[in-house]
Amino acid sequence: MSDTIQGLLSQSAKGIKPSPIREMFHLIRKPGMISFAGGMPDPDIFPVEQFHQGADILLEEGRDILQYGVTEGYTPLKEFLSRWTAPKMGREPSMDEILITSGSSQVADLLTRATVDRGDYVVCEETSFLGNTINMYNQGANFLTIPCDENGMLVEKISNAVDQARAEGKKVKFIYTIPNFHNPLGCTLSLERRKELVAVAKDKELLILEDDPYGCVRFEGDELPTLYSLDDAGLVLYAGSFSKILAPGTRVAWAIGPKDLIRTMTIFKQGVDTCTSVVAQALVYKYCQSGNLDAFLPKIVSHYRAKRDAMEAAFSKYLPKGEVQYVTPKGGFFYWLTTPNIRAEDLFQRCLEKKVAFVCGAPFFPNGGGEHSFRMCFTFASPEETDRGIKAMGEAMKELLAEKG
């Protein structure tokens, strides 16, 4: 970068953090590389034919669909989402409580723009989804991180953390949580903690961003109520996405929340991208309205359940006994592995030599940590690739342990 450009950059730009996952795409796309890194759906399960069947809508309504759309979103899709999400939301949200976004990460982006001043704090899990926490950080947010176990965030620790921060003059704006099949931890927030979290938010006058891209990808166990449905104070903003239940290339997601907050986020969106692609929204609507979403979703769940089982079987078969800790996810896309006697970065470099990639844990810790943990996505690689990749990883682990003595 030239001195001239460097001198013209804003203070925000000088401190901006890139996404480690996006930055490593050039590595994981190399020929022969087995990738457990990016949280990508399996393209073999994309409903290409069913999605294509809805393309006639371009001929039927092309004059409108190819024009600029309203920022709030394509009305037929919003009406569908109101009906389709009603069982999860506890009621049918009104049109002014729904905003269509360009991916669910835009929900976090718009909420941060609407609520966070530079130096303000966000409460989140330790660890958390780096795609959103990096975006929050780049907009000036700091973090109060709350530890987790197999039942999700230790909600009982939030009140003291918030009280201490406020006693020090810090402003805390919202709680960011991924309650179902957490990215990257794989855990699910228990019902008791869900109720407690909503109560804490009400007591401390905090918003909750309920990020739920994986909630429909459940392999086992009973569905738990959304935080949104448990909230009687209008403090929960729910984020859903078609990325994991249709295809990420659509870049269509949604937010459901208090209408005044949705309105404020909409105004920010007007300046960010005017509107989410109307063509994409219309194609997604036609796919859903035709019944394909509900008909195809069980196939997606079954496909990914088999992939999860294949990865865990490979763990048991190849990884050194007693050296790896993890929680079996009941849905979603990820395993979170901890190796107390092996640094994740050392393992990553050794695995790259064997053409296997994953994501090291440190970037998922907003306040530092994670040197002995890493994330594994089980949805993208084939079962055969998973077996070969975990075998190579096990060899790398054994080599590093032997060198350590």
Residue 90 has pLDDT above 80, yes or no: yes
Residue 29 has pLDDT above 90, yes or no: no
Residue 133 has pLDDT above 70, yes or no: yes
| CATH number, domain 48-292, options 3.40.50.10680, 3.40.640.10, 3.40.50.10860, 1.10.10.10 | 3.40.640.10
pLDDT of residue 321: 95
For strands 334-338 and 356-357, give the pairing.
unpaired
- How many C-beta atoms surround the C-beta of residue 69 within 10 A? 20
**Torsions phi, psi for 106 (to 5 deg):** -70, -25
What percent of the chain is modeled with pLDDT above 90? Answer: 85
Give, in degrees to the nearest 5, the angle at Cα 10 between 6 and 12.
Answer: 115
Q: Where does the pLDDT of residue 59 fall: very low under 50, low under 70, confident under 90, or very high at 90 and above?
A: confident
Residue 341 has pLDDT above 60, yes or no: yes
pLDDT of residue 1: 60
Second-level CATH architecture of 3-47+301-404? Alpha-Beta Complex (3.90)
Domain locations in the chain as residue ranges: 3-47+301-404, 48-292
pLDDT of residue 27: 64
Q: Report DSSP state, residue 117.
A: P
pLDDT of residue 20: 65
pLDDT of residue 310: 97
pLDDT of residue 30: 73
- How many C-beta atoms surround the C-beta of residue 256 within 10 A? 25
C-alpha pair distances (Å), 135 with each of 18, 65, 109, 138, 305? 9, 30, 7, 5, 31
How many Cα atoms occupy the beta-carbon half-sphere of 285 within 13 Å? Answer: 24
CA distance 142 to 198: 22
Q: Where does the pLDDT of residue 75 fall: very low under 50, low under 70, confident under 90, or very high at 90 and above?
A: very high
What mean pLDDT do residues 26-50 have? 85
What mean pLDDT do residues 77-94 have? 98
pLDDT (tens digit, 9 = 90+) per residue, 363-383? 999 999 999 999 999 999 999
Quote the mean pLDDT of the chain.
Answer: 94
pLDDT of residue 391: 98
CA distance 181 to 335: 10
Pick left, alpha or beta for residue 92 (phi over 0 → left; psi -120 to 50 → alpha; otherwise beta): beta
pLDDT (tens digit, 9 = 90+) per residue, 135-164? 999 999 999 999 999 999 999 999 999 999
Q: Where does the pLDDT of residue 19 fall: very low under 50, low under 70, confident under 90, or very high at 90 and above?
A: low
What mean pLDDT do residues 22-43 have? 79
CA distance 314 to 333: 16
What mean pLDDT do residues 4-30 have? 68
Q: Which residue has the higher pLDDT, 258 or 63?
A: 258
pLDDT of residue 213: 96
pLDDT (tens digit, 9 = 90+) per residue, 168-222? 999 999 999 999 999 999 999 999 999 999 999 999 999 999 999 999 999 999 9
pLDDT of residue 18: 65
CA distance 221 to 108: 28
What mean pLDDT do residues 298-321 have? 97
pLDDT (tens digit, 9 = 90+) per residue, 375-404? 999 999 999 999 999 999 999 999 999 998
Bridge partner list, 255:
99, 239
Q: Report DSSP state, residue 315.
A: H
Task: Give the type of residue at 397.
Answer: M
Q: Are the C-beta atoms of 99 and 332 separated by less than 8 Å?
A: no
Pick left, alpha or beta for residue 100 (phi over 0 → left; psi -120 to 50 → alpha; otherwise beta): beta
Overall pTM > 0.85: yes
pLDDT of residue 23: 57
CA torsion angle for 220, 223, 227, 233 (degrees, to 10)?
Answer: -170
Of the given ranges (20-29, 233-242, 274-283, 318-327), which has the lowest mean pLDDT? 20-29
How many Cα atoms occupy the beta-carbon half-sphere of 9 within 13 Å? Answer: 12
Q: Which residue has the higher pLDDT, 6 or 93?
A: 93
